[in-house]
Amino acid sequence: MDLNSILSQLGVGSKDTVYLSVTPGVGLELIQLDVANKTVKNYAFRPLEYNESLRELSDIEAFKNAVTELFSELKINIKSNVVLNLPMVLFGSKELPLLLADDAVSEALTSEVEQSYIFKRYEPVISWADANNSQSGDMRKLFYSAIQKNVVDDLKSALTELGANLVGIEMSLTSILKALAFSGLAQEQMKDNVSWNLMLIKQSGYSICSMIGKSIVDYYEEPLAIKSFEGEEIYNAINASAQITLMSYPANYLYIVSETDLVSAELLSKRLQADGIINFWENNSFKKQDALPVSLEVLEETARKISLEAIGIAVGSAVNMPIKFNFITGSSGEGVIDDPNEPVHIVLGSSEFDISPNAARNIAALCAVVLVVPALAAFLVVPMISKQKQAQLDDINSKLQQTDAEIKRLQEEQNKQNDFDVNAEIKKVTGNNRSKLMAYTALGESVPKKLWVTYFVAKDDGKFDIKGNSSNVEDIYLFYRNMKDSLISTKLRLHKLEMKTESVDEAVTIDPNAPADYEFEITNMTNSELNPPPPQDPNAQQAQQQAAQEEAKSGGLLSKPLLNFGKSNN
């Protein structure tokens, strides 16, 4: 009698596990992998609309129809266990005290998550995990992710109606990382102690995931309305924004993955100004090759649709990543509470089973009978040998206490030496001067040959003032448009444009054929900011000058006005 027969008599039913992925730009994907040979055995997809703004499926009935069609096409029994990948809704990190219990951690993370606009309307389901090697003193760093509880409930109900059982929900970021590891696409980057950045391009913007090997170190997301740009403007906008961001995450490698048909990862890799080796993967219609070999069962046209998310979710436990999320079982005590009478899913060798509480009691009783005899024997033997081993145990404990004391002393000395965090200080300064660096970069790239800047100042509150001269009006308007396009959100305006003259008589007698000299001023300041009222008394004026000097000392990069930038000596 084989294992399946025995388990069947005990009330345990065997079920296949099927992997699905909701992938924007593709739809709903069903994939089966040969994990041992790293090939795709079977694959099919159906178009499925996903609402990027609300981060949820547009139509749950369309999801049910797509699931039914996919199972039918690949001839899979609908009464299967389903593990589902969903697009990431929210991801972040937070430092909390080590002494906090799991319930307190969950409350703190829930409060953090509810600040997001999505979870002000919907109750979140949170999954979280400790960051790898992130404990510092009495604090620990946690990575967390959240999706809407109503989405989980709707998906679970829809699959239950079809006869399937939803046993796991993973999010796209970790699925992509697992796919890159399993396929070998990021083999060099995922070696131990190698620093690299994963850059994900989506329609709503881009994100930077800072990595060391397979461990996530930090995460940054930049909203960017990619749809509002056309042609080369997309790459210029991403480059202008990302090169400042990447300065905060120095690394040996940059890996670009494009999830949208609006951006080619290959073209972006050639335009992006970043340090280190740049690799890319087209997770969109620009894809030229498959991440994994596919069987003859899968048509070439269909194989081009296979996403990294689908591969990553189908890998299962074949790739061990330090950070994992599951919004069904939860993480560290957080998740959906299961029905006590619902069958429990277990894995035994290469087989997976659902076991009811009654069947579990039958198996427990059988195990108790089988184990009672060895237990009695052990009960009689252990006291006989315990006295002989006690002396050795006491000696080991004594040495262990000495070792622990030495380790504690060394850790205290190391903590004293590492009070100053260089990377944190660099990141802080870079963040404070981000807008100023972008303005300075835009200024250097936008000055025409026949125009010079005589005055430039960028303040901490995002205010800019630019003055200069030019021999013709066309260069002034060209410079104004370039600066406005480079600094989109600053609302620059052409405040002043006039011919440069010393007097009214000189303006009247100017030779119309001689080259004129024009003055201009471009700013986003108000008139009151450009022309502040004079101080009431000498003491007030002296205080104002002293405050300006203090601001120049502590304001950081580009706090002082920049004079005569680009002016020729001729």
Closest by CA position to 295, among listed 41, 43, 76, 74: 41
Report the 10 Å Cβ neighbour count for 332: 16
Q: What is the largest CA-CA distance in the chain?
A: 120
176-190, 296-310, 329-343, 485-499: which range is least confident on average? 329-343
Q: What is the dihedral of CA 122, 49, 310, 326, to 10 degrees?
A: 10
Distance CA 255, CA 269 (A): 9
Look at residue 566 in the predicted model and tell me its pLDDT.
Answer: 58
Share of the chain above pLDDT 90, in %: 36
Cβ-contact 142, 129 below 8 angstroms? yes
- 301-354 pLDDT, tens digit each: 888 999 999 999 999 888 888 888 888 865 443 433 333 344 555 555 545 555
CATH class entry, domain 3-185+292-355: alpha beta
94-98, 205-209, 240-244, 372-376: which range is least confident on average? 372-376
Provide the sign of the torsion angle of the four alpha carbons 96, 98, 104, 110, taken in this order.
positive
- Across residues 491-511, what is the average pLDDT? 70
pLDDT surpassing 90 at residue 380:
no
Where exactly does CATH 3.30.420.60 map onto the chain? 191-290
Report the 10 Å Cβ neighbour count for 205: 15
Cβ-contact 267, 274 below 8 angstroms? no
**Unique residue bearing structure tokens 């000058």:** 545
pLDDT surpassing 90 at residue 511:
no
Where exactly does CATH 3.30.420.40 map onto the chain? 3-185+292-355
* Sheet (strand 344-348) strand order: 12-14, 351-355, 344-348
68-77, 97-106, 428-437: which range is least confident on average? 428-437
Q: How far is CA 551 from CA 313, 423, 539, in A?
A: 53, 25, 18
pLDDT surpassing 90 at residue 268:
yes
DSSP codes of every residue in 535-559:
PSSHHHHHHHHHHHHHHHHHS-TT-
CATH among 3.30.420.60, 3.40.50.620, 3.30.110.60, 3.40.50.1580 for 191-290: 3.30.420.60
